[in-house]
Structure 1
Amino acid sequence: MTTTGDRTSPPAATHSIPTATVQRLPEYLRALHALGDTDGDTISSEALAAVTGVSSAMLRKDLSYLGAAGVRGVGYEVSLLTNRISTTLGLTRYYRVALIGMGHLGQALARYPGFASRGFHIAAIFDASPDLIGSRHGNHIVRDISELSGAVGEEDINIGVIATPETAAQQVADLLIDAGITSILNFAPCVLTVPQSVVVRKVDLAVELQLLSFHEHHKALQRSERDQQL
């Protein structure tokens, strides 16, 4: 099928798409959503690559795994490409999320509007602290962590988000897995031990800051070396 700004063909099987490509798809989608707020109906690979920080050759190769090929001189049709990436990422369905840990980070996550706008609904929130259980956060009442197992089935929860201290994270992960959850987003600064069938994505803000520190440190060293050569 050929359209005004995009040639589509059957995408590669999901399991054959390289992991690195999958990890870049959300960035492409974010950029396309932003472009959807403008008047442009098409975008070139060069322009999309520029706003996502990859080379245009890498972007075209990534999109080829999805069966999308831009038209020379025209580019990709934004709406079609957005739909193709969303479908590949499984975002055409609605996901229900359990958020565990209602400290400062958990409370911030509970208020974050970006989840709902991308199809992720926080269905229930949990904590182990008597001081937090029963408190209200938005439309939710904090539930006792002991209710997690039953809630997964009752609320049709698909994904677990762990925002607890490190010391509690593994126990919470075990509870989620025992309840049938196989996709976990972990904000605790630790590595979880899980079965191979469970997918864990780890977000460690301290590690990200340390990586930024590395870049800042080496930029300072390069400046110092340049100054010494003058």
Structure 2
Amino acid sequence: MTEQQETRTAVSGLSGRSHKEIPQATVARLAVYLRVLGVLLDDGTAIVSSEELAAAAGVGSAKLRKDLSFLGPNGVRGVGYDVAKLLSRIEGALGVDRGHRVVMVGVGHLGRALAAYGGFGRRGFTLVGLFDSAAGVVGEQVAGLVVRSVAELASACAALEPTVAVVAVPDTAAQSTCDALVQAGVRGILNFTSVALEVPERVSVRHVDLAVEMQMLSFDSARQDSAYEAEVVELRAAEQDRW
């Protein structure tokens, strides 16, 4: 797979075109716009300007308009965007309008928290199966589903037909779990382990490492502290020069 293939995502069915490649960074922002539009729709907002939508999403209005241009013509100059129509357009671009069936492997503390999160269903992702290897967990009812043994994963996936899987197992079981999911026909994996999973090119993996995100926050905090300390030193030096 080339670098360009890795950083772009093909989106089909837009504006009469067979497909159009959208940069991965734009896809990530489209998901944010979708979340904001959902809130606006729930609040009864019918029309939103590019400036209002951009501010709510935390981006510049020029970047917003460029991102939305990948979807074809949107909005009316001087009026704004129809919230319901734009939401539907982005749902189609991201493929969530088709709905996705999700299975989760690993029902520990993190898995239970994810299973209990109600936001997935509102965004087109329905949790249909939970799996774990611990005898004390198998058979429990979590989020309205009975936890099954990972030994049943292949047969259960054949019946459930999931399109997405969440992997929240210990690192030592990450790759074997991934292999079993790929063998069962799952095409998208959300990986909450710290292992870089190896998958065929036809399978997409998104990696979520909370420790890495916290380390990035630590870096930002340290950088801000350094900038503040440098500013204090500069101000003190300037004050001494005046005396």
* TM-score bracket for the superposition, by shorter chain length: over 0.9
CA–CA distance in structure 1, aligned partners of residues 172 and 24 of structure 2:
30
Partner of 1:182: 187
Letter in 1 for 2:178: A
- Identity within the alignment, %: 45
Per the alignment, residue 160 of structure 2 pairs with 155
Contact 1:29-1:85 at 8 Å conserved across structures:
yes
Q: 1:27 aligns with which of 19, 32, 42?
A: 32
User: 1:3-22 residue pairs with structure 2 within 5 A?
Assistant: 10=15, 13-22=18-27
Q: Which has the higher helix share?
A: 2
1:11 shift after superposition:
6.4
Bigger relative contact order (CA 8 A; separation at least 6): 1
Larger radius of gyration: 2
The answer to whether the aligner puts 1:204 opposite 2:212 as a matched pair is no
186, 194, 200: which is aligned to 1:195? Answer: 200
CA distance in 1, matches of 2:49, 2:79: 7
- The answer on 1:97 being equivalent to 2:82 is no
2:218 to 213, 217, 228: 213
Aligned-partner Cα distance in 1 for 2:160–2:207: 24
Query: What are the residue-to-residue correspondences of 1:72-111 with 2, within 5 Å?
Result: 72-111=77-116
Q: Under a length normalisation based on structure 1, what TM-score does the superposition of the two structures give?
A: 0.92
Cα shift readout 1:142-182 (whole Å, capped 9, x = no counterpart): 11101000111111211111011111111100000011111
User: What does 1:89-168 correspond to in 2, within 5 Å?
Assistant: 89-168=94-173
Question: Cα RMSD over matched residues?
Answer: 1.4
Q: Is the contact between residue 48 and residue 82 of structure 2 (CA under 8 Å) also seen in structure 1?
A: yes
Distance 1:12 1:103 in 2: 44
Q: Alpha-carbon deviation of 1:46?
A: 1.1
Matched, 1:44 2:38: no
- Indicate whether 1:172 and 2:177 are aligned: yes
Q: Gaps spanning 5+ residues in structure 2: where?
A: 1-13, 236-243
Q: Taking structure 2 as the reference length, what is the TM-score of the superposition?
A: 0.88
- Contact kept? 1:102, 1:127, Cα under 8 Å: yes
Q: Specify the code of the residue in structure 2 equivalent to 1:70.
A: G
